[in-house]
Amino acid sequence: MKTKNTTSYNRRQFMKHLSKGAAITLIMPSVLSQGLTSCQQRAESFNTLAMQTNDLIKMMAEFTQVYKQHAASDIYTREAACMKVQWRGIVQDIQPGDLFAGRSTQPPIGCRPQSNEGFLGYYIHKNAIKKLYNAPDISAESKKTLDELVDFWNTENTVAKTKKAFTPEMTAALPSDDYVNESGIAFTLWRMSGVQFDYGKLIRNGIVGLKAEIEDYRKQVDAGSDKHKFYTAALSTLDTFSEVSLFYAEQALKLASQAGGGQKKELQEMAAVLKNVATEKPKSFREGLQLMYLYNALDGARNYGRMDDSLGDLYTADIESGKIDEEEAIRLLTGIWKLMAARNYRYDTRLIIGGKGRINEANADKLALAIMETSKRVQDIVPQVALRFYTGQNPALYQKGLEVLATGHPFPMLYNDDVNIPSVQAAFDVPYDEAIHAIQYGCGEYVLNHRSVGTPSGLINLLQALIVTINKGIDPKTGKHMGMPAANYAKYNDFKTFDDLFAAYKEQVEYHVVQLAKHEELEYVFAGKDNAYFLSSILMDDCLKNGKGMFEGGIRYMGGTLESYGNSNTADSFTAIKELVYEKKKLTLEQVRQMINANFEGFAKERKMLLDAPKYGNDNDTADQMLVEIHNHLCHFTRQQRENTGLHSYLVVIINNDANTVMGQQTPASPDGRLAYTYMNPGNNPVGGADKNGVTAFLNSLVKPSTAIHAGAVQNMKFSKELFAENRPMLEALLQTYWQNGGAQAMLTVVSRGDLEDAMVHPEKYQNLIVRVGGFSERFVNLPPETHREVLSRTLY
């Protein structure tokens, strides 16, 4: 048993750490010391922060109590007070071998911009709650408490409040958010993802600097004003951060007292680091990493910005002074990589290196190289490192990137500044000086680093839109009406001409996009009504200046995005219909309708005709032009929606997580010959296996759809190991040409087909085979068979 020894939590010491002279209303959690006591009580290994069921429910009850107590107060004060309770449900114990603190989880009830189970703001995770009910150690009293909590939050959570505000038109067009289990043309998404912080500011200023800035702002506003409350609550939230950091310092010291040798020293060092970054400016690379990671974990953000830029100076200073060598730096980075892997946000965890717009490029480049070397050695599915490059950049970075890719590791993803910057200028309608800050998050959506938000709040399945249109409003899967009103079809003359059909499809798409844009706006409004999201907003331009949370209008550019799926299948479907029905007249549209509704049963010959029609991905002008038309229509119409909303931009993203597969499983057979309930194409890629004309033709097709009208499109390319190993100069010439031709981005997987096929049979031998599934990477053996087939179907060059 542990005694109450060593350094128990010292509130006075904590107060001393807080910035001097600041008049801060601290809403100190009264239970803080209780938390510690209970830790010590249950400590088998000396203390554990991870809460047990009843404690967790107690914490959530208290969180709810605090929330209710602030019914009459402003959202800022309420949020800051809630944060002071919530963090105890977030922090997780330091584990043996950890170099950094900041393991974290999400309590089933809480508050953050983006949380599990598709939530934002104040949330309740229904599945997690179910688990709590079933926990063996739950007490009867806790159950009762939980009943009350569920009852309260079921209506009080931010999503529920937003849903209540849906207009009838929105409800009609967007009936569901369950794209996994239901068929549909458009779905809503709930989260505020893709927030990319100004980590550079955090690291250059430290908590002390941030607070000084906030205090300066506060001095300029009237006491009692909303802004005054905003700044006060922001300061209080930073105090919560300090508290958490010190709390961890404490834990590290306790662990150190029990450990021996190298471990002891390591933990003591960790404690010293945490103690300093709790309030002060980080003085070393290690401190910078700790500050960034812990801040991110406490907020719940899932991406790590331009890490080479934010930490390059500290890295270089430490290397140059001899404080650490490169090996030590890689060891530290590996420590962070390990925590990222434990958090396991495989759709996020983006980390961007390289490119224009970094403050000290020379220093950043050095760190970028170390980051890639770390990824090469660790070979895990996160972080998703993305390398930006431009003509004139230090070539060592690009070369290092290829070297890592050659090992079969899917990172870095490659982003071509020469194409992306002008594209972002046009699509986002921002000047060059802002466009150079475009980076990606999540599955490849672009945002302007800490200047804009751009979360995708909806998705559209273009292929389903076409299938339903051909069926004049009936979803063949359910036999029920779907999409735009049946009466709207009357003007399209029974699709006598191709133009009639195409126009009807466009109206179908537009009918949904209009509401998706309005939904995005509505989601922001409600996200902003409930919270300032202080940890995020403090590091997002220009929230402090404006004295507002990012979703209340504090952010410089309030942008939104729409995920679109099935683009290539839709284009190929139209190509086949145009050729076979309207030009060669070998089939009627009615026949096509019957064929797809019958999943081609009894129509094998006709299906072959559809399959033999030209396909996107072969540098075939007919097929590619169709894709461009689909693309232009969707992107332009979506972009126009900023005029119908208060959004600075509303743009399509042609990204891919596994939604192409998941939604495909709900989508009937299509006129491109695709069978019912099978995957759709990933991202901007051709339909798997449809590209048969060689890699140069494939790449030439990829660059045809404009990059200047959307907020990101991903392309997956699979190359063989042999090509990388034996023909490197040719591979480089190939990529170089692709970039010159307008290639914006590439996700390369280097495998041999034999590897993939064998991995399906002998998964045990391929534990480390990682493949890209569009927007994220995964061990091949962990993917479901349907996704295996999708990955295998992509042509290997």
**Where along the sequence are the contacts to another protein (CB under 8 A)?**
604-605, 607-609, 612, 619, 693-697, 700, 727, 729-730, 733-734, 736-737, 740-741, 797
State which residue, 12 or 605, has the beta carbon closest to another protein: 605
The least distance separating another protein from the CB of residue 745, rounded to whole angstroms, comes to 18
State which residue, 219 or 605, has the beta carbon closest to another protein: 605
The least distance separating another protein from the CB of residue 386, rounded to whole angstroms, comes to 24
**Helix segments in 259-349, DSSP class H:** 261-277, 285-299, 307-321, 326-343
The least distance separating another protein from the CB of residue 693, rounded to whole angstroms, comes to 6
State which residue, 665 or 693, has the beta carbon closest to another protein: 693
**C-alpha closest to that of 673 among 600, 579, 586:** 600
**CA–CA distance, 602 with 797 (Å, rounded to integer):** 35
| Residue burial 304-332, b: 16+ Cβ < 10 Å; e: rest | bbbbbbbbbbbbbebbeeeebeeeebbeb
State which residue, 496 or 728, has the beta carbon closest to another protein: 728
State which residue, 215 or 619, has the beta carbon closest to another protein: 619
State which residue, 453 or 587, has the beta carbon closest to another protein: 587
The pair of structure tokens assigned to 316 is 């270089």
The distance from CA 610 to its chain's CA centroid, rounded to whole angstroms, is: 36
State which residue, 362 or 733, has the beta carbon closest to another protein: 733
Count Cβ atoms below 10 Å from residue 48 Cβ, excluding itself.
17
The string of DSSP letters for 583-632 reads IS-SS-HHHHHHHHHTTTTT-HHHHHHHHHS--TTS--HHHHHHHHHHHH
The least distance separating another protein from the CB of residue 720, rounded to whole angstroms, comes to 12
Degrees, nearest 5: CA angle 220-530-114? 110
Q: What are phi and psi of 287, to 5 degrees?
A: -65, -40
DSSP 685: S
The pair of structure tokens assigned to 614 is 């030209």
The least distance separating another protein from the CB of residue 742, rounded to whole angstroms, comes to 11
State which residue, 25 or 740, has the beta carbon closest to another protein: 740
The least distance separating another protein from the CB of residue 328, rounded to whole angstroms, comes to 40
Are the beta carbons of 274 and 296 closer than 8 angstroms? no
State which residue, 33 or 736, has the beta carbon closest to another protein: 736
**CA–CA distance, 197 with 453 (Å, rounded to integer):** 10
State which residue, 290 or 670, has the beta carbon closest to another protein: 670
The least distance separating another protein from the CB of residue 388, rounded to whole angstroms, comes to 21
State which residue, 140 or 604, has the beta carbon closest to another protein: 604
The least distance separating another protein from the CB of residue 602, rounded to whole angstroms, comes to 11
State which residue, 229 or 615, has the beta carbon closest to another protein: 615
DSSP 494: G
The least distance separating another protein from the CB of residue 717, rounded to whole angstroms, comes to 12
The pair of structure tokens assigned to 45 is 């290994």
Are the beta carbons of 516 and 174 closer than 8 angstroms? yes
**CA–CA distance, 233 with 634 (Å, rounded to integer):** 42
DSSP 581: I
**CA–CA distance, 305 with 386 (Å, rounded to integer):** 10
Maximum distance among all alpha carbons in the chain? 87
Residue with tokens 């999409």: 483
The least distance separating another protein from the CB of residue 405, rounded to whole angstroms, comes to 18
State which residue, 644 or 736, has the beta carbon closest to another protein: 736
The least distance separating another protein from the CB of residue 623, rounded to whole angstroms, comes to 14
**CA–CA distance, 483 with 462 (Å, rounded to integer):** 12
What residues have CB less than 8 Å from 104, skipping those under 6 apart?
A: 90, 91, 92, 297, 298, 300, 343
Task: Tell whether omega for the bond before 383 is within 30 degrees of 0, i.e. cis.
Answer: yes
413-416/745-751 β-pairing: antiparallel
The least distance separating another protein from the CB of residue 732, rounded to whole angstroms, comes to 9
**CA–CA distance, 528 with 194 (Å, rounded to integer):** 16
State which residue, 232 or 701, has the beta carbon closest to another protein: 701
State which residue, 268 or 741, has the beta carbon closest to another protein: 741
The least distance separating another protein from the CB of residue 318, rounded to whole angstroms, comes to 40
**C-alpha closest to that of 512 among 165, 192, 171:** 171
Are the beta carbons of 207 and 280 closer than 8 angstroms? yes
456-461/557-565 β-pairing: parallel
The least distance separating another protein from the CB of residue 402, rounded to whole angstroms, comes to 15
Neighbouring-strand partners of residue 441:
445
**CA–CA distance, 404 with 400 (Å, rounded to integer):** 6
The least distance separating another protein from the CB of residue 743, rounded to whole angstroms, comes to 11
Sign for the CA dihedral angle at 714, 720, 725, 728 comes to negative
